[in-house]
Structure 1
Amino acid sequence: MSTVLQDVQQLIAATGKHTLEAENTEGGSAYAFRARHLHDLPVFLKVLYPRPSGDLFAEPRLLVEATRTEGKGSNLARVHDAQRFGHDFVLVAMEYVDGGSVLSRLSGGPLPMMEAVCAAIGILQGLAQLHQALLFHRDIKSANMLISQRHGRIWPKITDFGSVARLAHASVSVTALRLSALYVPAEGWATPSRYDVRSDLYQVGLVLFEMAHGALPYNDDAYMDREARKELRELAETSGGGVDDCDRQKVVDRALARAKGVISFGKMQPYAPKSLACIINKAVSPAPAAQYRTPSETIGDLEALRLSDWRLAPCDEQYAANGWAGWDWSIGKDPKKPEQWVVLRSRQAATNFRRWAAADSARAACQLVMEAEA
């Protein structure tokens, strides 16, 4: 155990408020623990380092008010308490959510279509609450969206408030952070970098893409362009050996800045309609003027979608949707003609699927279903 970790644990014990149960090692930007408050309330503790450029203590204290709501309907993980302790740390005690992150959930594939849309609406509602308190999150990503359950669907909760910036008023911008390079919008790579409401919404667009289509590649090599590979070769020649992790990350960051559209690196599900693609493309546009301006504007477009609840079936290259136009649907390759896709349907909740149509691609087969009438 490191000396710093021991110091942190001793300082937490000295507050007399929490009993530590386990260290959380999923994130790498701060010390984090699962703990229990003295009133037997399960909490998630995060220990942050104050930044020289601002009063990190003030921001978490504001979050106590910003995340306070009546009932259990908020899409923000509630911050119960925040305090400076010792000379070097800030301790934030948050609501404990035990469903894991959206990123860990995506290891099993994309969410069902409507579940992804509803989850995105929930994230946007949480952001609206945060923005109303004149706070930008600046690090929206699937790893920072925790999962709880409500009404039988995923109920996302925004967490990890260590990057939150306080605003003087809603129309100003702040310096961008590049903690999660994959999620940095185009304006975040500019010099000087700027970040406003649209930048948070850009990151929600990427999370929606991942929930609907599957996680984007998290290996650096996926985003290496020709220029980046040339840089790495030159660095290796100059150093006479390998390239250290810090220099390599800088090369990758520059490649991501040039990419201006990382969703092109992800696999698109054939059942995703153009209407959803248009919303995602608007949210992640490299031109800030073309992006969504407010969470409510994005929510309005998502709520107007008319979609079947497509999902991946257990078998490879099979897709299913229940309750669309009064039928349950299944799409897969024709075992006798592998170049063809067969559409089967059954009355809702029945199991007697019968052949209904065929198409020359999965996307065309899904489109036939979407055009079906009850």
Structure 2
Amino acid sequence: MDLSTPPPDLYGRPRADTFFRFLTAFGDRYSPALGSPLLRRNPRRPYSRPTEALQLVVTARRQVAADVVELTLADPSGGPLPGWQPGAHLRLTLPSGRERHYSLCGDPADGAEYADRTDRADRTDPAERSRYRIAVRRLPDGGGGSAEIHDTLHPGTRLTARRPRNGFAFCAEPAVLFLAGGIGITPLLPMVREARRNDLDWHLVHTGRSADTLPFAAELRALDPARVHLRTDDEHGGPPTGTELLAHAPRGAAVYCCGPAPMLTAVQRALDASPAASLHFERFGAAPVTDGEPFTVRLGADGPELPVPADRSALDVLREARPDLPYSCKQGFCGTCEVRLLAGTPDHRDRRLTPERRADGALLPCVSRAAAGETLVLDV
């Protein structure tokens, strides 16, 4: 029998089977690569290419509350910017090299939002998003990013940024309660606009120390005075309780909360006894360490050893020895503070790194820890 000639098909035609022809071609291509990285990926998925950084320029700046400035950012050439959804944030690289994340507080559905502030009066296409808005509060005890923005970023300053990403997506449930603490209004403001546009049953409570500390107060009142509740500590004898905040929730509402850790903790504890049904949240401060054990980090194979107490993060300890170590959110999902693990067994607590990245030695010291007495050797 001549095995080199394919047998005829059901109709007597000497035609090779299409599936096996494809399978043979696949094998001819990948068989020589046994043991190579080619076989460690799905051949149907293209290699990912890093996206180019956005080039932005500050086109406007205004004071929106005590110690809070709003910046308007645009493409230097006046072109459109990538679209985004409520809850998204920008990762900015400041002139000093610091990287910081800031929530977008404009309206993603209104591309003509700033048409009257530009010399291009014909820019009225809602699909053309030509501006980003962020608001930043000066933090006296922060890492320098907010001070740099307040002191040095003025119209004309050039910046680079990553495309908008969203870790706090708005699901547009029929009934919604928004709870904002101070600068925590920034990711919620676009959500409020979206809820209003879709005729949802929504309410907003914006809290702060005093009226002058509440950003966008006039803008919020203009949306719907009956649904916007501005609540200040100085007028009510202190911060609100979780029960007081959740009393504004419609029956079965989804709660979207962004604010300081005590506010979020109070809301979480009061949720079960409230009319609300679910809670979505974003912190703008680091979460407290839970179930922490003391361990040690070593800076390089022969470097100094730094003890990490049970109630502090490895990032806090590392920054005392390496003040220039970058960081941003301290919550385990942004990835700015990533370091390389050389030795030791970590307890990964982040929400960003894949198992493959962890196996390759990536570690986020903002939240990841180790067992009691363990030493993690880091390449920093």
Please say whether Structure 1 and Structure 2 have the same fold, judged by a TM-score greater than 0.5.
no
The structure in which a higher percent of residues are strand is 2
Structure of larger gyration radius = 2
The structure in which a higher percent of residues are helix is 1
Pairwise TM-score range, normalised by the shorter structure: under 0.3
